[in-house]
């Protein structure tokens, strides 16, 4: 299969778009990740369909919503009959592999995943189920699993997980082989805990870190929990360390691109960079994700493949994580599995004119559902306040327009479409949405 492309997916954990200069971020310079946009495509409106680790990863890997793939909340395993894009490519002769956080095999922590449970990723020696340690070491004793240390123990350039996993990835990428490969690297940063190894721990001065204007917001929807964000000094320190984690990720992306380049296979390797959800870091008084504000849903998506994707391609259309599997398989010249809920966006990546509906549905949990369009976010929480935000004119999402009389007709149409969508996929939210 000499003309068949390789696939490298670099997947981070809890990384917001503002962290990348390609997305007009100003705090961290990310030249290596930016190069994927300069030499390939950047999707400026790429949304995850659910902003929680486990279900989001399941949607990305299978192209199916979480109530169907089975991992509908954290620490629940993916259904064993699901077909991941790795399995689809393995069936077509690919060598497959995975390193890093998996979070789709139930509660084990770390849970070094058994080979028979890797869902199509054959070389998965360094796949662990969950955890965000700061130091991992190999144990040179045959099949003994690597050692993870207390979260308070900091690694170095060899043992910090981002570095350690990058080394394992490069070992896989540079092997001599006859078949094309599909490899997914799941970096557990920049997810908390926030400390990062030296020298990245001091690269960004907490005093220089801006704070969200909405951190002390009042009059929020009834479903918003009480303020989670720490005081301003601690929040600035967290933000500085978060930026340090992102800078290290970018440096490691550079190492992977160099490894592919030196091997002579960079241009025949599709390189994807994305994340499972964003991080609020004090926005609306919140930390983490798991709420309905856009920052948790809109994530980076950059794809480089000179063979099919023109350099400098910018896609402003709304594309969801549920669309990734059918898109990547079609882009590579293969038929999707036929079970996916997602759509094929490969024509957008190739720069071709195509009909496309700018819409992405939120499947957060059985009691929360919503929809993003180009201009608005509409979302419902069962027995709580609904929201309507103007994405163009209110990017900080502080003005809830749901009760504005001038939007009643539009809200009715969007709600009917949302309810019809959930009914069409037999979502648990369909019943109560039909009464919204």
- What distance in Å separates the CA atoms of residue 356 and residue 372, rounded to the nearest whole number? 14
Tokens linked to 157: 């350039």
pLDDT score at 1:
45
Measured over the CA atoms of residue 4, residue 256, residue 322 and residue 307, the dihedral's sign is negative
- Classify domain 367-433 by CATH architecture: 2-Layer Sandwich (3.30)
- What distance in Å separates the CA atoms of residue 326 and residue 62, rounded to the nearest whole number? 9
Domain residues of the chain, as ranges?
A: 6-359, 367-433
pLDDT score at 142:
63
pLDDT score at 139:
81
189 vs 12, 80, 339, CA distance in Å? 6, 27, 31
90 vs 113, 121, 188, 256, CA distance in Å? 18, 8, 25, 22
pLDDT score at 114:
86
Pairing assessment for the beta strands 301-304 and 269-275 based on DSSP bridges: antiparallel
- What distance in Å separates the CA atoms of residue 182 and residue 115, rounded to the nearest whole number? 16
* DSSP single-letter state for residue 77: P
Tokens linked to 19: 């962290």
Cβ(212)–Cβ(281) below 8 Å: yes
Nearest to residue 426, comparing CAs of 366, 381, 377?
A: 366
Query: Which residue ranges in the chain fall short of pLDDT 50?
Result: 1-2
pLDDT score at 434:
84
pLDDT score at 143:
65
pTM for this model (two decimals): 0.97
- What distance in Å separates the CA atoms of residue 420 and residue 426, rounded to the nearest whole number? 10
CATH superfamily of 6-359: Alkaline Phosphatase, subunit A (3.40.720.10)
- What distance in Å separates the CA atoms of residue 2 and residue 247, rounded to the nearest whole number? 35
pLDDT score at 435:
80
């Amino acid at each position: 299969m000499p003309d068949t492309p390789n696939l490298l997916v670099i997947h981070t954990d809890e990384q917001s778009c503002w962290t990348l200069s390609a997305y007009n971020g100003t705090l961290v310079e990310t030249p290596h990740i930016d190069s994927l946009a300069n030499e390939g495509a950047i999707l400026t409106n790429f949304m995850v369909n659910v902003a929680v680790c486990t279900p989001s990863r399941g949607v990305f890997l299978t192209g199916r919503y979480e109530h169907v793939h089975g991992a509908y909340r954290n620490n629940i395993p993916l259904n064993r009959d699901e077909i991941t894009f790795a399995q689809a490519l393995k069936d077509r002769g690919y060598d497959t592999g995975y390193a890093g956080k998996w979070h789709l095999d139930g509660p084990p922590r770390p849970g070094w995943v058994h080979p028979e449970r890797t869902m199509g990723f054959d070389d998965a020696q360094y796949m662990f189920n969950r955890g965000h340690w700061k130091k991992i070491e190999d144990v040179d004793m045959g099949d003994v699993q690597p050692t993870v240390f207390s979260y308070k123990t900091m690694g170095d350039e060899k043992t910090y997980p981002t570095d350690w996993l990058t080394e394992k990835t490069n070992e896989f990428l540079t092997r001599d082989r006859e078949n094309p490969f599909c490899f997914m690297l799941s970096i557990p940063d920049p997810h908390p805990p926030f400390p990062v190894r030296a020298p990245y721990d001091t690269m960004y001065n907490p005093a220089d870190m801006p704070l969200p204007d909405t951190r002390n917001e009042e009059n929020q929807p009834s479903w918003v929990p009480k303020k989670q964000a720490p005081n301003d000094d601690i929040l600035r320190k967290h933000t500085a360390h978060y930026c340090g984690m992102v800078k290290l990720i970018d440096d490691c992306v550079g190492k992977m691109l160099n490894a592919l380049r030196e091997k002579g296979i960079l241009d025949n390797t599709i390189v994807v960079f994305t994340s499972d959800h964003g991080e609020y870091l004090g926005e609306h008084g919140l930390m983490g994700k798991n709420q309905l504000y856009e920052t948790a849903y809109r994530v980076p998506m950059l794809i480089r493949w000179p063979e099919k994707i023109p350099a400098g391609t910018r896609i402003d259309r709304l594309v969801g994580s549920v669309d990734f599997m059918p898109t990547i398989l079609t882009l590579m010249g293969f038929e999707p599995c036929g079970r996916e809920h997602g759509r094929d966006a490969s024509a957008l990546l190739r720069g071709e004119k195509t009909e496309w509906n700018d819409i992405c549905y939120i499947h957060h949990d059985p009691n929360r559902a919503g929809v993003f369009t180009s201009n608005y976010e509409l979302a419902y929480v069962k027995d709580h306040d609904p929201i309507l935000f103007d994405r163009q004119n209110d990017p900080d999402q502080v003005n809830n327009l749901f009760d504005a009389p001038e939007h009643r007709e539009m809200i009715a149409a969007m709600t009917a479409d949302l309810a019809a969508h959930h009914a069409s996929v037999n979502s648990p939210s369909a019943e109560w949405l039909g009464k919204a």
